[in-house]
Amino acid sequence: MVHDLIGRVEQLGQPRVLVVGDLILDRYIWGFAERISQEAPVPLLRADHREHRLGGAASVATMLRALGAEVRLIGAVGCDFEATVVRGMLAAQGIDDRWVVTLEDRPTTLKERYIGRAQDRHPQQMIRVDYETRDPMPATAQAELHGRLPAAIWWAEVVLISDYDKGVCTPSWLGAVIDSARGAGVKVLADPIRAPDYSRYRGVHCMTPNRLEAQLATGLTIARPEDALPVGRRLVESLDMEAALVTLDRDGMALVRADGRAELLSTRPRQVYDITGAGDMVLAVVGLCLAGGADYDEAAALGNVAGGLEVEKFGVALLTREEIIRDLVEHHQPEGSKVLDRDHLVIEAGRRRRAGQRVVFTNGCFDLLHPGHVRLLRQARSLGDYLVVGINSDASVRRLKGPDRPLNTAESRAEVLSALESVDAVTIFDDDTPLDLIEAINPDVLVKGGDYRPEEVVGRAEVEAGGGRLVLIPLAEGHSTTGLVHRVVAGAVKVHSAETVPVPHITRNAVPNLTRK
C-alpha cells in the first residue's frame, strides 16, 4: 500500500485544478512578548516582522501550485491595498487570477494575527483581528463570473470549492458551478462552511467537513472515530455524493462511499503546532490526486498524510510532493517489509534519495551474527538515513567458502539481520560479488570492515564515480566468525572425547576462509 501511494505521488503529473471560493489574506505580525504593558494587564508585543500569506481559496490554490498542479482561481477581492498584495502573490506563484473579480462595496478579507515569542519558546498566537464583509456578492459580480464559468470548467480536470462564508459561495453561484462541472464530466469537491444546512452543496462528488462541521450538518454526534461512519453515510445520501471524507484531527479520517464501503484512516501521533490550513491542505491533496487519476482510497490516504504534515508547521504553510514521499518513506513502511528483492530495493533506494536521504550499503555472508557485526552495522547506519545490507545467497556462500557453508540459510540470515534496528533493508544476491547490486542501487556510502584495503573493496570505483564515498569501519577485537567456528569445533571435539558424541561435519579447510564476512 505504501509503495502504491509513493508511486501515485510520483506519477501525478500536472493536473489542471479550478479553485472556487473566498480569497483571504493572512497577515502575521511577529514579535517578542516578554513583559506586561504598563497601561493594562495585557502582554506587550514588540513587533519586529510582518508577513503575508494567502488564505481561504487562495491558500488552496498556492498549496496546489507547490504540489505541481496548474491552477486557475475564481473569487473576489476588494478595491484596496490588500487586493494588490493578493494579486501580486498569486502572480508570483503562477496562479491564473483572471477570474478574480474586484468588488468595490467591501474590503478584501483580511485576518491579522499577532504572534508572540518568549524565552525562545515556540511562537504563540496572541490575538486575531478580522476585516471582512459576509454579505453575498452583488448580482452584477455573480453575472460576471457566470459568463466566465464555461471556459474555466472546460479547462479543468477537477473543481474545488473552498467556502469560508465570506459572500462568494452563494447558493445560486454554487449551483451553477456544480451543474456546469457535472455536465462536463468534471468532479467537484467542497470544503464546506460550519452550518446546519448543506443544501447548497447538493450534487458535489465529495466533501471534506471536519468533525464539528459534520456533526452540525447532520445532527449526529461523533464521540468516537467509529461514529463518523454513519455521519458520513448521511451526508453521502442526503447530498447525492460519491463519497464523504470526514476529518477527525488526531483520529485521522473517515471515508464513506456511496457504494457502501466505509473505513477509518488512522494517523500517526504528531507534534501539533498549528491547525491553521490543515483543512485546505486536505482539500488540495485529495483534489490533486483525484485529478491525477487516483481513487478515493488513495486520495484520502494521501490527504491524511498531508493534513498531518500541515499541523506540524506554523500558520498556513506549503508542502511539496517530496515532503509527502519522505513522510511515507520514513513513517509508513509496513511491518516485515525489510527483506526486499532487487527490483523493489532499487525502487525504494531511488525513492529514499529523491526524499533527500542518504543510502548506505554494506554486504557479507553474516553466517553467524556476532557483536562485531552488530557494531559495524550500527556505525554504518550512522553514516546515512537508509542502511541496505546485501547478503550472499546459499549457493554464493558455497562457491566462496566451500560445501559445508553456510551454517544458516539465506532466509534465516536475512530474518536475523532485519530484526536489527540499525538495518533498514536486507536483500539476497546470488553473484560472487555485490558489484551488480551496488551499481543498481547506487549508494551514497559504501561500508566495509577495516580488514579491507580501499583498493580491495568491490564497488568502490563505481560508488565514487557516482559522487559517493567508501568508509572502512575498524573491526571489533575479539569478535569474528572464524573464532566462533574454532570454538564450535573445539567444543565438539572435547565433547566427543568425553562422551563419544559425533563431531559435526565442519571441515578445517573452511576455517581460514572465514576471516572476512
3-state SS string for 56-125 = EHHHHHHHHHHCCCEEEEEEEECCCHHHHHHHHHHHHHCCEEEEEEECCCCCCCEEEEEEEECCCCCCEE
Q: Quick check: 359 and 390 in contact, CB under 8 A?
A: no
Q: Which of 280, 327, 367, 394 is catalytic?
A: 280
Sign of dihedral through CA atoms 87, 80, 102, 74? positive
DSSP 308-361: HHHHTSSSS----HHHHHHHHHHH-PPTT--B--HHHHHHHHHHHHHTTPPEEE
Q: All 3 cell numbers of residue 410?
A: 539465506
Q: How far is CA 424 from the centre of its chain?
A: 19
CB 56 within 8 A of CB 22: yes
280 is catalytic: yes
166 to 78, 163, 221: CA distances (angstroms): 12, 8, 27
CA distances from 248 to 139, 198, 258, 307 (A): 37, 19, 20, 11
Report the C-alpha gap between 446 and 361 in whole angstroms.
5
What values do phi and psi take at 135, rounded to 5?
A: -65, 150
Q: What amino acid is encoded at 269 in this protein?
A: P
What string of H, E and C letters represents the secondary structure of 140-180?
HHHHHHHHHHHHHHHHCCEEEEECCCCCCCCHHHHHHHHHH
Strand order in 206-207's β-sheet? 96-102, 70-77, 16-21, 158-162, 187-191, 206-207, 243-247, 253-257, 262-265
What gap in Å lies between CA 154 and CA 173, rounded to an integer? Answer: 17
Per the document, the length of the chain is: 517
In angstroms, the CA 121 to CA 125 distance is 12
Please classify residue 117 by burial: count the beta carbons closer than 10 Å to its beta carbon, then call 0-12 exposed, 13-18 middle and 19+ buried: middle
Cross-sheet strand order for the sheet of 110-117: 43-56, 23-36, 110-117, 124-131
- Give yes or no for a contact between 384 and 358, defined as CB atoms under 8 angstroms apart: yes
Main-chain dihedrals φ then ψ at residue 86, nearest 5 degrees: -60, -50
Run of H or E including 429: strand 425-429
Active site residues: 280
